Structure 1
């Protein structure tokens, strides 16, 4: 298993800038298992750091653990007599005389135990901590609570932070650094996305079949109950949320379709879908060209897409042990096909940055209208150039590839970009005779090009 620290270069650079300009107050938040603690541990190396992680518990247990660690940090037993957050923070400020990094990790667990904690920290920051050479970092996994209690205009801490960001999943090529085998790594990324903890669990296997068997298709598996744990931390009415996510996973992407599928009036679903979007579990996608009111809902979390496509509909069979990966081959194929479109988009964005396309695009996305669909269209509106791309999770020979590209040329005429310069491309698992297709003016990529790009990323 490989578990070294991967990338997070931009985040570390931002944190380092704040460290150079103390006093500073930084807020870092992001979903469970995204790697916040690992990032902050990496950042704290070679710094005078007090690092405290809160866990689920009562206010009393939190204060007891905090003051015990502070007493050890300062070798001062006076901390053991303090019984309130404000007095602890005030006394902490009094003890600091050298540049110090203070990390309050998983702060939302402490907020759950004391609703006045944000006010107490605000008072301590305004009157004491901000007068010292301190960088205070507050992190949390409960995204809704962090936004409402720490970041929102109504929070007592509003206006105090000097920097803050939501930590996001690793991208495709950073995620692949966690795997020795490229083919297995890219398939795992397609199933799980870029959550570091998920990828580390997967990295101990050598095949998707083994990963699914031991971590999804057994009640003791890591991912078997993960959606319940993940969603229950942020949401109530779990049955309704699970029904919505399940409907989207099986292809009900319009709000009317979701409503009909689960038996709930469509207009009543808007608040629930907004919550799922706010938390990053769902996204609303609109055509890259055309009417924006034609949007559809898609699962934005790859692990949830895999789980709701393959596990949720078969919970009873899994519990009784009468199902295995062979029974789910069609569902797996569908998930891979959907995810490969997103992976292809990531790949094109990366090579676009390196100017390895016919032109540099500014926007990219799907297009659909009246039953016709194009997987990806990349646009440069100033230069009036468009790249149309089909994405296939298949091995293709030259004849098959050429047929797909010719059909793409016909569909591109329906988009209506008259007077634009048009280019055509194909991304597939494997394509034979790419050179011949390239000589005909097409841009064609497969997994071999993805693998080759990894080595190019290190070039200056």
Structure 2
């Protein structure tokens, strides 16, 4: 399978490998790599390791007992290209013993790589694993030119690994693997900028789903192919994620379904599901810890408690709001009818779902170098602004910091219509409410973002799909 994108991630891994290769007093380097399932962590690391001229061992844990995991670890070391790997044939009697034996095998005169994938399984099932790893790392492994990669999909566990109370505190450097960027998706599927943004929203940037997108195809053609088979990963991945990634006490199916239509308040979410306030509060906290829900507040110079909740995975948001309701049609072999239903609701869904991607893109893009309208120090964070009654709702707020700014750099409007460019009425609507954003003034620049290329007109700056995609290059 062809490997696309990830040049920044490969370069980062390469820098840490070079640090181990250079040696020094304590040459060993450790990365704690986290990222949601399906995001391509293992494939990225495999691609990186295969490109090295270095001995390595790659072990992937499973949801097995400690003794079974130990047997699998032994086989992984025996099957590796580490020097003297055959000496591992004397089966270790414990995980502590296994880690010490592995550390002794690592060469002292050349760099090597050790990968322990799905680490959270070991921390759950192997008593004292983190303490053993810390001891072996401090006393043996870190003194050798090794790059140790600890990888896991449970974001909360992987983050906790590096907290003060845990044995491995400050031994590893945290790395978050994000989904593929919109620029990666464009390259993979040979799409126009606007089509690439559509594909990124629908697939969530998950590599397996991105690879299914026909080259040069629009959404309608993609759905025609994906909805023809009820077993297609595009259909099944959402259900598997909802049912398997989140603990039962998060009430993930109910809570995520309730907020899938857009950005929802606590009260409106509570009204849609049959759980108590305390249960919903705990659920949202856990889902936020796992990175699947974002709790956002209005960005301005004044604090606000008007929190809205958003699903961070746009594929899951698409699946819950547009695909899940038509699964029955797909199962009955009427993918064509399901596609028509999805396409009917697509423009309204996309208009809201594109806003987080626009904000992330502008955070990379603005201020323009040499632009006379922007303050380089007042536009490094991008959010939105709204009031409790929603009588004021502004898509884009650029500021010097978040969540409470000192200065507002610009306000903006996103109009993501299929072909219609920005209109003067869009500027007038934004200008009419701009002064109600705390920190904004009559001189605050107003910018526009449109799917279709638009004229500058009264705007301080205008951005199209092309500029948004280029921001990720």
- Place the TM-score, normalised by the shorter chain, in its bin: 0.7 to 0.9
Shift, 1:325, TM fit? 0.9
Q: Residues 342-374 of structure 1: CA distance to partner in whole angstroms, max 9, x if unpaired? A: 232233223215426521213321111232211
Distance 1:42 1:208, change over 3 A: same
Q: 2:198 aligns with which of 187, 192, 200?
A: 187
TM-score normalised to structure 2 length: 0.84
Question: Quick check: which one's helix share is greater?
Answer: 1
Take 2:2 and 2:354, find their aligned partners in 1: how far apart are those partners?
A: 24
Contact persistence 1:51–1:105 (CA under 8 A): no
Distance 1:353 1:101, change over 3 A: farther
Determine the structure 2 residue equivalent to 1:425.
447
Q: Would you say 1:37 and 2:42 are equivalent positions?
A: yes
Shift, 1:431, TM fit? 4.3
Q: Would you say 1:241 and 2:263 are equivalent positions?
A: no
Distance 1:77 1:173, change over 3 A: closer
Take 2:277 and 2:429, find their aligned partners in 1: how far apart are those partners?
A: 36
Q: Which runs of 5+ in 1 are unaligned?
A: none
Determine the structure 1 residue equivalent to 2:395.
375
Give RMSD over aligned pairs: 3.0
Shift, 1:189, TM fit? 0.7
Give the 3-state SS of the residue equivalent to 2:166 in structure 1. Answer: coil
Take 2:216 and 2:122, find their aligned partners in 1: how far apart are those partners?
A: 36
Determine the structure 2 residue equivalent to 1:105.
117
Take 2:143 and 2:223, find their aligned partners in 1: how far apart are those partners?
A: 53
Determine the structure 2 residue equivalent to 1:7.
7
Determine the structure 1 residue equivalent to 2:341.
327
Following superposition of structure 1 onto structure 2, how do residues 273-352 of structure 1 map, counting pairs within 5 Å?
Answer: 273-289=284-300, 290-322=302-334, 323-352=337-366
Q: Would you say 1:445 and 2:463 are equivalent positions?
A: yes
Shift, 1:294, TM fit? 0.7
Q: 1:266 aligns with which of 277, 280, 286?
A: 277
Distance 1:115 1:354, change over 3 A: farther
Contact persistence 1:151–1:157 (CA under 8 A): yes
Q: Residues 315-344 of structure 1: CA distance to partner in whole angstroms, max 9, x if unpaired? A: 333323344211222332222111222232
Contact persistence 1:386–1:421 (CA under 8 A): no
Distance 1:418 1:38, change over 3 A: closer
Take 1:189 and 1:24, find their aligned partners in 2: how far apart are those partners?
A: 34
Distance 1:428 1:205, change over 3 A: closer
Following superposition of structure 1 onto structure 2, how do residues 115-154 of structure 1 map, counting pairs within 5 Å?
Answer: 115-148=127-160, 150-154=161-165
Distance 1:51 1:202, change over 3 A: farther
Distance 1:448 1:130, change over 3 A: closer
Q: 1:178 aligns with which of 157, 176, 188?
A: 188
Contact persistence 1:29–1:146 (CA under 8 A): yes
Take 2:216 and 2:450, find their aligned partners in 1: how far apart are those partners?
A: 25
Take 1:217 and 1:300, find their aligned partners in 2: how far apart are those partners?
A: 27
TM-score normalised to structure 1 length: 0.86
Q: 2:76 aligns with which of 69, 74, 96?
A: 69
Give aligned pairs, total: 448
Q: Does 213-222 or 385-394 show the bigger shift?
A: 213-222
